[in-house]
Amino acid sequence: MMPKLGLICLLLFICVWPVSARAGILNIQEVVTPKGLKVWLVEDHTVPVISLKFAFKHSGAVNDPADKQGLARLLSNTLDEGAGDLDSKAFQGQLNDLSISLIFSSTRDDFGGGLKTLSKNRDAAFNLLKLALTSPRFDQEAIERMREANLSRIRSDMTDPEWMVARIMNDELFKQHPYAMNSGGTLTSLEKITATDLRKKVKEQLTRDRLLISIAGDIRQEDVSAIIDGIFGDLPETAAALDVAPAPFPAGQTSVLFKKDIPQSVIQIALPGIAQHDPDYFAAEIMNYTLGGAGFGSRLTEVVREQRGLTYGIYSGLTEMDFAQTLNIGSSTKNTSVNELIDLTKAELLKMTNQPITADELNSAKTYLIGSVPLDLTSTDSITSYMLGFQASNLPKNYLDIREAGLKAVTATDVQRVAKRLFNPEQMLTIIVGNPDNFTASKTVTQLPNVE
Amino acid sequence: MKFLPTLSALTILLAASSSWAETKPQRVFNAETFTLSNGMEVVVVPNHRAPVVTHMVWYKVGAADEPQGDGVSGAAHFLEHLMFKGSKAVAPGEFSRLIRSLGGEDNAFTSWDFTAYFQSISKTYLPTVMALEADRMININPPAKDVETELPVIIEERRQRTDNDPRALFMEQLRAVMFNTSPYGIPIIGWRDEMPKLTWQHAHDYYKTWYAPNNAILIVSGDITAEQLKPLAEKYYGFIPSKPIPAHIRPAVPEFSAEQRLTLRHADIRQPALIRGWRVPSFQQNPEVSYNLQVLEELISSGSATRLYQALVVKQKLASSVDLSYDGDNRGDGSLWLYAEPVPGVTLEKLETAIEQEFSAIIKDGFTDEELAKAKTRLIDSAIYARDSVAGPAMIIGQAMSAGATLEDIETWPAKIQAVERSGVEDVMKTFLDPRTTTSKAVTGYMLPEKETP
């Protein structure tokens, strides 16, 4: 019953979780600035390094117009190409000379960025970030150069089988939903994006009401408010709400083949996933770990790689986005073994629904999923990544403690229940790029969707 | 010794001290070292940020030490895989399963000069992983059926990394031409047609010849001190007998007089590229030249504000990207690699000429003191960032030391970079990159689409 309690707790946001009296796994402080911005902070003076990560919720590629796919990506490439009086070379030169790393990035859901600086250069770093967000130049020269770099990236990627399989998967999985678009842009859509489009996106979507901020490292709590209001305080206040519906998982058992003359076929399988706020999420984490998340020790690796030598790697993973969740399985094998690999995978899925996992598997999954977290909390950057991830998923500050208690409470029956819920033979999408022997696909693709 | 390429390759960051010029020389990691009675070197990098450790054993031997001329390649990497397939005490696959069930991560990797095994785990279990790692240093004993299923696994690994990708196949061929008689020209994983001939005997012979405590470095980074580690290291590794280790043969590559140019035309190439590689001294072969090359790389090819990008991408608009990188962490020859992609409508010939002209201009005009100072500051600053991790320092130290550097070389790296002079950087530019004298020593690769030239 613990997971259910966990959910209620999350919904009410009161979260007096009966874990233990000991300190939390990651002790996050929350600072609310005079301008009303909420900041999560982990102070740590081990190394003179500061990491600041932020995201504008729902300002990502999901907003890209269909004929201007790649807008969010191109914005992330051009925001650091000059601002205020500094042209591209001057702006990049200052970052470089002061060993400051400033990176903007876009997921499907959110537009964000990260700043990493040595303490001695922090004021300059904060100023450069503020300048980039509040007075980006979007000089034509820089736009053209970044456009060209993106076109070159697409031309390199478009024959890479792993990239191809992911592109086809997105298209098949999300159909008419905005998630089906190519967030990196297409060879034609990138050509249509103008400085006006970039400016408009900044003005309308990089707003304070959408802003999530995490900061960690060599910084004191009493300094945070002034720094954060200084950088973000002058941004526009609000954005119009994003109007996107959840993407349903496509019905039916579908397999899609893109025939390509290579010695090894690349395979991706998608099944319905589960939201992080779902009461069964912790059971799903354990199920995924046991199935294929663990790598070595997981059932898929054991059966497909260790016992039969069919692949170098087979993995499963849970993906959560704001409007869709999936469970993915990825692998690759020589063309003559594709059917065998897929059959073995299906048999393992079935087994997971037919009988509970063993007590050893359950314990091993719990120990790993709980015990490996501190391994990741050893650098300033990874701490801000964790915090921003929780903020973006609307999880509370003590989520790691809640998760630990939630994982501990999961039973083998819970795992079997969630497997039954997710593994429906009538909802399974398989994409293959390669030249598999004797494989009957329900659909063949000869053109990559949304690339040219 | 050269940190940065390693770092990008292994997704780790490197480090040094910032206000270096004005303040007292700082050591990069403040690591401690001692040697066990059997000759095993031990390095401890204390970092008490979280109650975790990264435990690594680096064997100072890699693919370049495999027997030559036996018609087989890839034994070092095959052995690395078989190290997970059981010993007299541990069942096949049990090693990794046990580490996971204790909340840890483990893996291994093979290069031409080293082979490394690592675990990151709660410090509570450090004795357990030490016992397991020491066990497989002497007791590896994979059942025949596990050897049999692992061979197709590494063949699938090769398909995934190389055979499925014409660009990777082309890089393999460029290396083979550039390193010619040196084993650095043989892919670590092995040639496609030689891998199927690998047997347990090849892996086991290599293991018996090279795996020994006196040919290994133990590195523990994280929530531990040298004082705490010493008794554990003695207990788990100290009893393993040392053995005579053969010399590492790194043949000198003959200087040929004809230019070496390769062109690949392939339907899967949509974006043309120019690649050029030069053999240059490694840190081990010439530390002073190596420091100069490290600063040169940073000075002309580090981000969009530096020389090559500004000249070719911003001003002349001939390329969409250009990058020069130096690999100097080797026992034998190091290398410099140039990679550039033209914008549409620009031929690789035109791009090549423009790059050579830029090199010539740099050689003629030299660098400014300001450029040099900025490049050195960036390198020295990178050493501070390198401390912001537990696993990262162990990676950096392991790679440099297994190629022959000392811990002192690594700890005093910022001072060595600070001491680099403009004339030294200009000299290495002229010696190794002057198009008039070095093009014939380099290998040049054109990657092109199947039909029309761009």
DSSP output for A151-165:
HHHHHHHTT-HHHHH
What does the pLDDT look like over B20-57, one tens digit per residue? Answer: 333 445 799 999 999 999 999 999 999 999 999 999 99
Least confident of A19-28, A162-171, A348-357, B110-119: A19-28
Pairwise CB contact (< 8 Å): B388 & A379: yes
Of B156, B270, B320, the CB nearest to A334: B156
Looking at residue A52, its pLDDT comes to 98
- Find the catalytic residue in B66, B80, B298, B352: B80
Looking at residue B422, its pLDDT comes to 98
Pairwise CB contact (< 8 Å): A96 & B378: yes
Local confidence band at A11 (pLDDT 50, 70, 90 cut-offs): very low
Interface test with B, best of A44, A87, A99 (most B CBs within 10 A): A99
**Cα radius of gyration (chain A):** 23
Contacts of B393 in chain A (CB under 8 A): none
Contacts of B28 in chain A (CB under 8 A): none
Local confidence band at A428 (pLDDT 50, 70, 90 cut-offs): very high
Residue A311 has pLDDT above 80, yes or no: yes
Residue A2 has pLDDT above 50, yes or no: no
Phi, psi of A144 (to 5 degrees): -65, -40
CB B241 within 8 A of CB B38: yes
Nearest-CA distance from A436 to chain B in Å?
14
Averaged pLDDT of chain A: 94
**From edge to edge, which strands make up the β-sheet containing B260-266?**
B260-266, B443-449, B273-280, B334-342, B319-327
CB A102 within 8 A of CB A50: no
Any chain B CB within 8 A of the CB of A123? no
What does the pLDDT look like over B64-100, one tens digit per residue? Answer: 999 999 999 999 999 999 999 999 999 999 999 999 9
Contacts of the segment A191-197: beta carbons below 8 A, 24+ positions apart? A191/A147, A192/A67, A192/A68, A193/A68, A193/A70, A193/A71, A193/A74, A193/A143, A193/A147, A194/A143, A195/A138, A195/A140, A195/A143, A197/A68, A197/A71
CB proximity list for A100: less than 8 A, separation 6 or greater: A94, A115, A116, A117, A121, A124, A125, A128
pTM, 2 dp: 0.93
Nearest-CA distance from B151 to chain A in Å?
7
Contacts of A299 in chain B (CB under 8 A): none
Residue A187 has pLDDT above 90, yes or no: yes
Pairwise CB contact (< 8 Å): A309 & B156: yes
Local confidence band at A3 (pLDDT 50, 70, 90 cut-offs): very low
Nearest-CA distance from B38 to chain A in Å?
31
Contacts of B387 in chain A (CB under 8 A): 47
Q: Using CB atoms within 10 A of its CB, is residue B435 exposed (0-12), middle (13-18) or buried (19+)?
A: middle
- Provide the Cα torsion A308, A312, A317, A321; round to 10°: -140
Residue B18 has pLDDT above 80, yes or no: no
CB pairs below 8 Å between A and B: how many?
A: 178
Q: What is the rounded distance in angstroms from the CA atom of residue A125 to the CA atom of residue A218?
A: 14
* Active-site residue, B80 included: yes
**From edge to edge, which strands make up the β-sheet containing A325-334?**
A314-320, A325-334, A264-272, A427-434, A252-259, A443-445
Average pLDDT estimate for B229-237: 98
Nearest-CA distance from B243 to chain A in Å?
33
Least confident of A118-132, A320-334, B3-17, B306-320: B3-17
Enumerate the β-bridge partners of residue B34: B42
Least confident of A15-24, A393-402, A427-436: A15-24
Average pLDDT estimate for A357-377: 96
By residue count, chain B amounts to: 454
Residue B9 has pLDDT above 50, yes or no: no
Q: In chain B, whose CA is at the least distance from the CA of A142?
A: B314
What does the pLDDT look like over B406-449, one tens digit per residue? Answer: 999 999 999 999 999 999 999 999 999 999 988 778 999 999 99
Contacts of B149 in chain A (CB under 8 A): 306-309
Pairwise CB contact (< 8 Å): B101 & A363: yes
Nearest-CA distance from B386 to chain A in Å?
10
CB B151 within 8 A of CB B78: yes
Written as six digits, the tokens of A234 are 């002058």
Of A297, A311, A371, the CB nearest to B103: A371
Looking at residue A24, its pLDDT comes to 82
Written as six digits, the tokens of A273 are 């996933």
Q: Name the one residue in this structure whose structure tokens are 């314990």.
A: A363
Looking at residue B25, its pLDDT comes to 53
Written as six digits, the tokens of A401 are 């403690």
Of A145, A262, A371, the CB nearest to B122: A371
Looking at residue B440, its pLDDT comes to 75
Pairwise CB contact (< 8 Å): B101 & A116: no
Residue A165 has pLDDT above 80, yes or no: yes
Contacts of the segment B362-368: beta carbons below 8 A, 24+ positions apart? B362/B300, B362/B307, B362/B429, B363/B426, B363/B429, B363/B430, B363/B433, B363/B434, B366/B422, B366/B426, B367/B299, B367/B422, B367/B425, B367/B426
Of B97, B157, B269, the CB nearest to A296: B97
Pairwise CB contact (< 8 Å): B304 & A92: yes
Written as six digits, the tokens of A42 are 């982990």
Average pLDDT estimate for A91-111: 97
Looking at residue B255, its pLDDT comes to 87
**Residue B314, CA distances (Å) to A66, A74, B346 in order:** 30, 17, 15
Residue A1 has pLDDT above 50, yes or no: no
Of A155, A370, A374, the CB nearest to B51: A374
Nearest-CA distance from A236 to chain B in Å?
30
Interface test with B, best of A87, A159, A188, A305 (most B CBs within 10 A): A159
Q: What is the rounded distance in angstroms from the CA atom of residue A50 to the CA atom of residue A29?
A: 16
Looking at residue B6, its pLDDT comes to 36
Residue A174 has pLDDT above 50, yes or no: yes
**Residue A128, CA distances (Å) to A80, A83, A86 in order:** 9, 8, 10
Cα A271 to chain centroid, rounded: 17
Nearest-CA distance from B244 to chain A in Å?
35
Written as six digits, the tokens of B4 are 């940065």
Looking at residue B441, its pLDDT comes to 81
Contacts of B108 in chain A (CB under 8 A): none
DSSP, collapsed to helix, strand or coil, labels residue B374 as: helix
Please state whether beta strands A314-320 and A211-217 pair in parallel, antiparallel, or not at all (unpaired): unpaired
Local confidence band at A424 (pLDDT 50, 70, 90 cut-offs): confident
Q: How many CB atoms within 10 Å of residue A366?
A: 21
Residue A9 has pLDDT above 80, yes or no: no
The closest alpha carbon to B290, from B298, B299, B282, belongs to: B282
Cα B14 to chain centroid, rounded: 13
What does the pLDDT look like over A255-308, one tens digit per residue? Answer: 999 999 999 999 999 999 999 999 999 999 999 999 999 999 999 999 999 999
Give contacts of A 391-410 with B, CB under 8 A: none
Local confidence band at B256 (pLDDT 50, 70, 90 cut-offs): confident
Residue A374 has pLDDT above 70, yes or no: yes
Q: What is the 3-state secondary structure (H, E, C) of B39-85?
A: CCEEEEEECCCCCEEEEEEEECCCHHHCCCCCCCCCHHHHHHHHCCC
**Longest pairwise C-alpha distance within chain B:** 67
Pairwise CB contact (< 8 Å): A92 & B50: no
What does the pLDDT look like over A396-418, one tens digit per residue? Answer: 999 999 999 999 999 999 999 99
Q: What is the rounded distance in angstroms from the CA atom of residue B111 to the CA atom of residue B184?
A: 10
Residue A386 has pLDDT above 70, yes or no: yes
Interface test with B, best of A375, A382, A404, A433 (most B CBs within 10 A): A375
Of A120, A152, A309, the CB nearest to B271: A152
Looking at residue A426, its pLDDT comes to 86
Q: What is the rounded distance in angstroms from the CA atom of residue B171 to the CA atom of residue A404?
A: 46
Q: What is the rounded distance in angstroms from the CA atom of residue A335 to the CA atom of residue A323?
A: 35
Any chain B CB within 8 A of the CB of A262? yes
Looking at residue B454, its pLDDT comes to 47
Nearest-CA distance from A153 to chain B in Å?
8
Local confidence band at A22 (pLDDT 50, 70, 90 cut-offs): low
Q: In chain A, whose CA is at the least distance from the CA of B149?
A: A309
Q: What is the rounded distance in angstroms from the CA atom of residue B98 to the CA atom of residue A53?
A: 35
Any chain B CB within 8 A of the CB of A151? yes
Buried b (16+ CB within 10 A) or exposed e, B89-117: ebebbbbbbbbbbbbbbbebbbbbbbbbb
Residue A8 has pLDDT above 80, yes or no: no
Give contacts of A 296-355 with B, CB under 8 A: 296-297, 302, 305-313, 332-334
Q: What is the rounded distance in angstroms from the CA atom of residue A102 to the CA atom of residue B110?
A: 33
Average pLDDT estimate for A137-141: 98
Averaged pLDDT of chain B: 93
Pairwise CB contact (< 8 Å): A48 & B384: yes
Of B105, B149, B165, the CB nearest to A309: B149
